[in-house]
A and B are shown apart, each in its own frame.
Chain A
Amino acid sequence: SYKNVPKDEL
């Protein structure tokens, strides 16, 4: 699911 996509990009 989308949940596991980390928002760690610029």
Chain B
Amino acid sequence: MNIFRLLGDLSHLLAIIVLLLKIWKTRSCAGISGKSQILFAIVYTSRYLDLVTTYISAYNTFMKLIFVVAAYATVYLMYIKFKATYDHNHDTFRMEFLVIPSLILALLINHELTVLEVLWTFSIYLESVAILPQLFLVSKTGEAESITSHYLFALGSYRGLYLLNWVYRYYAEDHYDLIAIVAGLVQTVLYCDFFYLYITKVLKGKKLQLPA
């Protein structure tokens, strides 16, 4: 474990908690893409199947359980409990355009052709684009609540911190995983324009408004 990965995991955990609190406290999921949340549930389900096969540490197991449970809880809140507040008119990104290519790519480019490894690779590819429906929703509505932008900032920072973790592990532990690194780069780059808007606007107390 290193400080970059620890901060990354905590940033990820913070994002998930902020989102759950936003939906629970405001009893509304307006401005949140349910499709991205479904994609995250798929990502963690396909990545954390090794929960039943390999034990790495209490921390690893605990965090994986939190991420999976929180993903499904968010989907439940959005599509069942607070269904009436779900913005399905704007949340129109086609998930299959992300899931199917990720699955095909995972079958073509992976480290070994086993079920667990292909599912892990699929989860890595899918996670790198899973935020697209959310960013698409924000661009369609042209704005985002500040709590939603804090959620996105924490979520985008987590994988950016993981990039630093991989640099550290390359020098300190002399290994690297190109699949995770390339996907992590794509994932972090997708947040760049949002990061710019967040830092130039939200941190100055303005609302996150996308240029029309």
Contact = CB atoms under 8 A, between A and B. Distances in A.
B177 A10 contact: no
Interface of A: 2, 4-10
Counting contact residues on chain B (CB < 8 A from A), the size range is: 20 to 34
Contacts of B175: 4-6
A7 B67 contact: no
Contacts of B177: 2, 5
Given A5-B176, A7-B120, A9-B180, 19 more contacts: A2-B111, A2-B112, A2-B177, A4-B175, A5-B111, A5-B175, A5-B177, A7-B54, A8-B56, A8-B57, A8-B60, A9-B5, A9-B162, A9-B165, A10-B9, A10-B12, A10-B60, A10-B63, A10-B67
A9 B168 CA distance: 14
Per DSSP, chain A at the interface is loop
Contacts of A8: 56-57, 60
Nearest to B112: A2
Interface string B57-96: 1001001100100000000000000000000000000000
A9 B4 CA distance: 12
Nearest to B44: A10
Contacts of A7: 50, 54, 56, 120
Nearest to B179: A2
A5 B47 CA distance: 16
15 contacts: A2-B111, A2-B112, A4-B175, A5-B176, A6-B175, A7-B50, A7-B54, A7-B120, A8-B56, A9-B5, A9-B162, A9-B165, A9-B180, A10-B12, A10-B67
